[in-house]
Amino acid sequence: MNLGQDVEIEIPSRLPLIPLRDVVIYPYMIFPLLIGRESSMKAVEEAMVGEKMVFVVAQRNPSEEEPDRKDLYSHGTVAKILQILKLPNNVIKVLVEGVARARITKIRSQKSMKLVDIKVIEPEVQVTPQVEATARVAINLFRKYVTLSPNLPDEILSNIEQVNRPSVLVDFIAAHIIQGVEQKQPILEAESIEDQFEALTQLLEGENEILELERNIENQVRDRITKTQRNFYLQEQIRVIQKELGEEFEDESGDYAKYRLKLDEHSYPTEVVQKVEEELEKLRMTPGMSPESTVIRNYLDWVFSLPWHKRTRDNLNIQNAEVILDEDHYGLEKAKERILEHLAVLKLVRKLRGQIICLVGPPGVGKTSLGRSIARALKR
């Protein structure tokens, strides 16, 4: 990108038109164009006969093959042709340098190409304190943008120090923002330096916010992956140490295999299978002599001891239940009354969700024996 030097160039009021797909070219920006459309090739030929200047402007719809006035943005850039290179398949590569902003006033058709009448937008020379302050804000935002963006080299920041004019600064920064036409075109269309900086800072603030969010997400994902890898590494280290000490982890033999066989022998409810799988994985990764291993074994023994596959027909004789409760327990009138109410409801509806009775009290008051009495009364 040409950073700077003011050279007086006389710009014709009528220039050959080259519509652009998915790119915005700013003044002072050097950019290679691949040209394959016949009308654009004719425009290049016409320019080379004259002042070697063309007018480049972005298309609103990139898929439009031969755009007319409504398909083009109103503002574009006068560009000087620096180099032409012929490529295979009837394509030419044209290196252009942006010279000045301009606005289309009229489009004319001529010899299979288009010419445009333009009004050049002169850059503002006077620098107010407001413009200078906004320029500093833009520079700080751009520094942050370069730091956050993985696609921009840090050398760009050293180049920005060479820019001493706000009008050049706007175009330099805008040219390096990686965004689409809809986001970058407003900066080109702003005719005053204040409006250009306002559009630029808004775009930079939005981009920085998105890049920060992306970086935070990437860091979170990286932390999770790192934690998983760290845990795996530590588990492998523990496994090796335990092996050296003669304290093997549970493997495909021993208690792990025994519990796995029990799980595979019968069909269990889905939630039971999921929980047992979790506990088996813990058991497999836990040293056999650790206290945690004992807790897991006790839990699994209890789970498999439950009568998952045995069903009995409940005896819902309320009088019989009352007799058994009175035989086994003296007092506890409120508890026995609540139990009988529960059995009565169960007898009426036949199916009751959440058939769980919670017995609360200190040790020795009869909770366990009361549960046995209920089971005896129901013949469970």
* Average pLDDT score over residue span 94-115: 90
Cα separation of 123 and 190, whole Å? Answer: 11
Among residues 184, 276, 203, 286, the alpha carbon closest in space to that of 239 is found at 286
Q: Which of 25-34, 206-215, 237-246, 305-314 has the lowest mean pLDDT?
A: 237-246
**What integer best gives the mean pLDDT of the chain?**
81
Phi-psi region of 67 (alpha: psi -120 to 50; beta: other; left: phi over 0): beta
What Cα–Cα distance (Å) separates residue 183 from each residue in 57, 100, 157, 172, 252? 15, 20, 22, 16, 60
Contact yes or no for 102/55 (Cβ under 8 A): yes
Contact yes or no for 277/260 (Cβ under 8 A): no
pLDDT exceeds cutoff 60 at 250: no
DSSP, collapsed to helix, strand or coil, labels residue 104 as strand
pLDDT exceeds cutoff 90 at 55: yes
pLDDT exceeds cutoff 80 at 307: no
Q: Which of 243-252, 349-358, 359-368 has the lowest mean pLDDT?
A: 243-252
Confidence of residue 17 (pLDDT cuts 50, 70, 90): very high
Contact yes or no for 114/39 (Cβ under 8 A): yes
Contacts by 160-167, CB closer than 8 A, 24 or more apart: 162/3, 162/4, 163/3, 163/4, 164/4, 165/4, 165/123, 166/124, 166/127, 166/131, 166/132, 166/135, 166/193, 166/197, 167/27, 167/123, 167/124, 167/193, 167/196
Confidence of residue 252 (pLDDT cuts 50, 70, 90): very low
